[in-house]
Amino acid sequence: MGIKQVSMDEMMKRVARMKDLKSTSKAFVDTRLPENQREIFDVIGGGVTEDPDSQPAIMDAEDFNLTYIGAEPGKGANLHSHSAGVEVFIPITGTWAVFWGGEGEHEIELDQGDVISVPPDVMRGFRNTGSEYSYLMAILGKTDAGRVTWSEKVLERARKTGLDLDENGNLIEITPA
């Protein structure tokens, strides 16, 4: 097996600096719900974002996608699942709760550096349980991380805010019911 040589220019395409990351606060259908307002930073690969305009800092996702989530206390993501692979959560700062089950009835609180690996097809969500704005890292297995499946209750609430998903799973504006 040979050793691959990589130029500085090629390697720089694989560097994401936190200070340069661009976030979106409209990455998912639940982000207009007060408890789900958060920033999504696609670091490696497109992840599962529903915002077709979101661009990752590092395009070349090889077998995994990495995203940072930033949120104020009490904010996070609502119940959803991923069928394409495992999702791993690691608090970078603060404390975060990961909850799961059909109604989110199970919950584990994670401290900075703790790790949880959520199996595919499990309804899960997360929220910042600390007292200040904090960051959570999410890693999704597979090069193509697929799409999110939302709890029907979340979709019903999102539609009342004027957000829905098109047939490709991308965010669209609708007239609230």
- pLDDT tens digits, 81-122: 998 889 999 999 999 999 999 999 999 999 999 999 999 999
> Does 45 reside within a domain?
yes
For residue 177, pLDDT over 70 is answered with no
Supply the pLDDT for residue 53.
84
Supply the pLDDT for residue 2.
84
Average pLDDT for residues 50-58, to the nearest whole number? 89
Average pLDDT for residues 151-170, to the nearest whole number? 92
Mean residue pLDDT across the chain? 93
**pLDDT-based confidence at 131, cuts 50/70/90?**
very high
Supply the pLDDT for residue 89.
98
> Does 19 reside within a domain?
no
Determine the structural domain holding residue 52 and report its residue range: 25-173
Q: Which range, 17-31, 88-102, 157-171, is most confident? A: 88-102
High-pLDDT (> 70) share of the chain, %? 99
End-to-end Cα, the chain, rounded Å: 61
Total tally of structural domains belonging to the chain: 1
Average pLDDT for residues 65-75, to the nearest whole number? 97
Helix H or strand E encompassing 41: strand 39-44
Distance of CA 148 to the CA centre of its chain: 10
Question: Is-contact 68 93, C-beta < 8 A?
Answer: no
> Does 9 reside within a domain?
no
CATH number at residue 166: 2.60.120.10
Tell me which residue of 75, 79, 78, 77 sits closest to 123, measured CA to CA. 79
Cβ partners under 8 Å of residue 138, min gap 6: 47, 66, 67, 68, 69, 87, 88, 89
